[in-house]
């Protein structure tokens, strides 16, 4: 597997790479497999197994894409308390026969951001293409990912400890 990480950026602009699940090969069919515990956290919340009424969840714009393409992952705080997170501490893992293997990033910068109730943080993951950051989204990539099943994850700290938020996706 070849993985190249060009970095993550924060910026503005428009994204023409199909983050809405449009006619570019992306789909929004749920990934039904179990939720992997990829981080050292008190609990794991997976987008595919979390109901629509969950107060805090990481949602992907689609669950599969063809390369080149872009996926948008949005962590929305619909809870009653503020969450703390490092928006640059995202991770991509690949499912292998031996389990889950981290493929990116190699390093993480250390800023801290608070997400008050009603706020959200977004990441744009570029697979085979550099993402065009929009709004306050963090642009991540480009990553050269082979066909397979992957998981994007972030962690946030709330009143009840650390939670890992996971969204699985496929590269086809």
Examine the pLDDT at 30 and tell me if it is beyond 60. no
pLDDT of the residue at 103: 95
- Under a CB-based contact definition with an 8 Å cutoff, are residues 15 and 131 in contact? yes
Task: Kindly state whether residue 38 falls inside one of the protein's structural domains.
Answer: no
Backbone angles phi, psi at 73, to 5 degrees: -115, 130
In a domain, 93, yes or no: yes
- The rounded mean pLDDT for the chain is 82
Beta strands in 86-160 (DSSP E): 91-96, 99-104, 113-115, 120-127, 138-143, 148-158
Q: How many H-runs (helices) and E-runs (strands) does the chain carry?
A: 0, 13
What total of structural domains would you count in the chain?
1
CATH number at residue 57: 2.60.40.2360
Q: Kindly state whether residue 29 falls inside one of the protein's structural domains.
A: no
Does some domain include residue 108?
Answer: yes
In a domain, 9, yes or no: no
Residue 22 lies in a domain: no
Separation CA 50–CA 71 (nearest Å): 19
37 found inside a domain: no
pTM score, whole prediction: 0.80
* Higher pLDDT, residue 52 or 35: 35
pLDDT at 92 over 90: yes
Residue 35 maps to a domain: no
pLDDT at 27: 38
Q: By residue range, what is the domain housing residue 85?
A: 43-171
Average pLDDT over residues 111-125: 96
């Amino acid at each position: 597997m070849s993985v190249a990480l060009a970095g993550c950026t924060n910026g503005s602009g428009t994204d023409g790479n199909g983050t809405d699940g449009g006619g570019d090969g992306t789909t929004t069919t749920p990934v039904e497999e179990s939720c992997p515990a990829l981080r050292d956290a008190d609990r794991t919340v997976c987008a595919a197994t979390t109901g629509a009424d969950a107060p805090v969840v990481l949602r992907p714009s689609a669950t599969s894409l063809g390369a080149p393409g872009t996926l948008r992952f949005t962590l929305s705080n619909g809870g009653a308390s503020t969450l703390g997170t490092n928006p640059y501490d995202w991770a991509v893992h690949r499912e292998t026969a031996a389990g889950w293997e981290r493929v990116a990033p190699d390093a993480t910068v250390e800023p801290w951001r608070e997400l008050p109730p009603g706020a959200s943080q977004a990441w744009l993951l570029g697979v085979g293409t550099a993402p065009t950051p929009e709004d306050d989204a963090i642009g991540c990539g480009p990553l050269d990912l082979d066909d397979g099943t992957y998981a994007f994850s972030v962690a946030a700290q709330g009143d009840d400890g650390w939670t890992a938020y996971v969204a699985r996706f496929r590269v086809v």
